[in-house]
Structure 1
Amino acid sequence: MTGEWPTLTVNEIRDPGDRSIAIGPFGSRMKADSYVEKGVPVIRGNNISDTRDLTREFVFVSDETADELRSCNVYAHDLVFPHRGAIGQVAIVPSDGVERYMLSTSLMKLTCDRSRIDPKFVFYFFRSARGRHALLQHASTVGTPGIGQPLTSLRSIQLPVPPLPEQRAIGHILGTLDDKIELNRRLSETLEAIARALFKSWFVDFDPVRAKAEGATRVCPEAIAELFPDRLVESEVGDIPEGWGVGTLGDVAEHPRRGVRPDQIQLETPYIALEHMPKRCIALSDWGAGHGLESNKYRFNRGEILFGKLRPYFHKVGVAPVDGICSTDIVVVAPRATEWFGFVLGHVSSTEFVDFADAGSTGTKMPRTSWNEMARYEVVLPPRSVAKALSTLIRPAISRLIAGIHESRTLAALRDEMLPRLIAGEVRVGTDERDERERARA
């Protein structure tokens, strides 16, 4: 139990260097016009999420700016925390080959004394309810959440400190689960990118047709190449493959209107609202439950497409990983026949379609689109055989993507169950000398 472990303050576990606990620069020292196209990446609040890793949407400052603000430089294994905004979150700077990062004005950092404390253990402490509470208890909730004396507050936080080998073992166990979750996320991104590229090649750029027209060989498997004509012809929407037509999304897709009243909703029914849907990502890995809902919803089936129809949420489009219910601010879209799945998904999740829906939205305070408007979207219609070939290739990728979502949720639940018990010492982990040497090098 934690009673067996000494309790130390963050100030006692920090690296003895004078820059080991620091705050980001004042806004006047790093304004937006300090950003450059390439240079030292700046960690901002939006780079920190509920995952372990930093998101990759960085802005940059020059090496000269970073040199002038050396106390705000962060390196691999440093921990970063918001002291304004999303207080309670934490990230650990990765060992990813980047020499250094910069803190933004709303963040603070901690460099641990690695001779006595494992940064991964400290990271997971702050991911636990106990660690989050320690950060949040110093925050003001008036206006934008903020910590009045951020560095003083950070230094004073107390945490249990088991022996270093046990710290590393705990960090390794929890980190291994996060590694697998991250691997699934990256695989999901790759599968989605492949599906998008294939759709664009076939139905936007008409690459197989152009290749055949130019006499190219082995552009795609012979059985697939035979499905495409060898020339483009003029149409009212520009050049299209010979024998193909022009129609609308509504010709091949529909909006199943399966309304559900609150009294018909079971408590544990998966529920997807706009806040559960990531932008520009078809993998829907988050959802809630149906208890407490007080208004009508739509029912959807696993594999159907969900489209967020409010303008602020446009480009929230994904494939349902479960059967469930969703907000009426989401349009459920399904192909009229299974062979059109890949074709419909490719269009509905495209930037061009989102722009079309945005342009046709109505309402002043909160403009929104509708299925009637979405169904009018003009598309070049291939023969069913071509649409079926795409769906045959894409469906296994979507199935693997969905399987990864469920596996990651299981791993996350296991991690979240183990985290407080490991941090509290309720579950003890053995340490093997050989394994310990490996973890120390990590």
Structure 2
Amino acid sequence: MDKKVAFYTLGCKLNYSESSAIGRLFSQAGYSIVSFTEQPDVFVINTCSVTENADKKCKKIVKEALKISPQAYVVIVGCYAQLKPTEIAEIPGVDMVLGAAEKFQIVDHITDLTKQPKTLVYNQPVSEANQFVASYSFGDRTRTFLKVQDGCDYSCTFCTIPLARGNSRSDNIENIVEQAKQIAASGVREIVLTGVNIGDFGIQERKRINKFVELVKALDEVDGIDRIRISSIEPNLLTDEIIEYVAVSKKFVPHFHIPLQSGSDKILSLMRRRYKRALYADRVAKIKQLMPNCCIGVDVIVGFPGETREDFVDTYNFLNELNISYLHVFTYSERDNTLAKEMAGSVPGSTRAERSKMLHILSDKKRRAFYETQLDKNEEVLFEGDIKDGFMHGFTRNYVKVKAKYDPVLVNEVRNVKLTAIAPDGDVEITESEEILVH
């Protein structure tokens, strides 16, 4: 009888693409990939280290996994596994921990599913994780996350990702284009480009071979894909050339997610970010000049060490005046082996929570204001297969979330719709035209 493996993935889009790649390795080895609740022989938990909460989730998932399948073999991979292998090895029920350089050799490491008295740990220094391993997510017919870059050469004082994933490195353009063609052949309509620092795309064996804009231009020529979305790009790497190309692109959509982290130049300096807020404002202005309907998302951290009330108000006012569409708000949490953890001026937890709440409210306000500018427009919507309370959802090219009564015919279809009203839950209601743009 075939052995069964189940995955649970925490964290970013990059982790999801890598879980799918690891899943394909198991399939090639004769395993059946099943859902978490189908009593698998092996559980693979792909972890994140960005927030403290993600660490705690790992422990809870192991506990729940062993309730479902008490004799299952439990393997932990991902950023947390690279950073704190000894800590994970002490979690009851964990059989194996694989670091960043070992996770793609997982099938070779699992030669026997017999539980050992001691957790097996394979974890080389992150400097050994210097190979680029191609990955893309699979299973969501509508959208695929395609990994184009890994690692980071930046040294932001709050971030553990360079410690967990190593130096910046990329695939070559030819390989990525070939993967995009494979994805198109599978019936997927949208690709989301993902990585740790995708604007830094083009480094191979520590040498810069290409620029990100060259990849953008090459992918724009791939047949069979309707949309390509850039997941997140640093403001200092979002060049005029990239913005100008996306503005006239056939496939790249008018949607950028650009990390800001703080609207205070003082805090940006403490974070060792590679720009000031004036550059950020310039990038937003350039995008809106060429693509007035472009959706712009922003990452921001509250409660960073040294952030005074004045610094936070500075950030709040900057964001309030900026022509952006939504925020992803992160409450700062101390991480081992980061410079920020040792900085003076720790912000009380209650203050962090209060500032986070204020920015969440601002985000809701920004999203609604953006949606209101889109009402009465005719847009193409790619519908997804989810069902909630009898409704399904989809997204316009510029990332307006719309809802429609569930219809199985609409799943993975692009339809021309009119954006008519904002529903009480914040999604946009639509009127469907009779024209089906893509069959």
Same fold (TM over 0.5): no
Higher relative CO (CA 8 A, sep ≥ 6), structure 1 or 2? 1
Instruction: Identify the structure with the greater helix proportion.
Output: 1
Rg larger in structure: 1
User: Which bracket does the TM-score occupy, shorter chain normalised?
Assistant: under 0.3
TM-score normalised by L of structure 2: 0.25
Instruction: Identify the structure with the greater strand proportion.
Output: 2
TM-score normalised by L of structure 1: 0.24
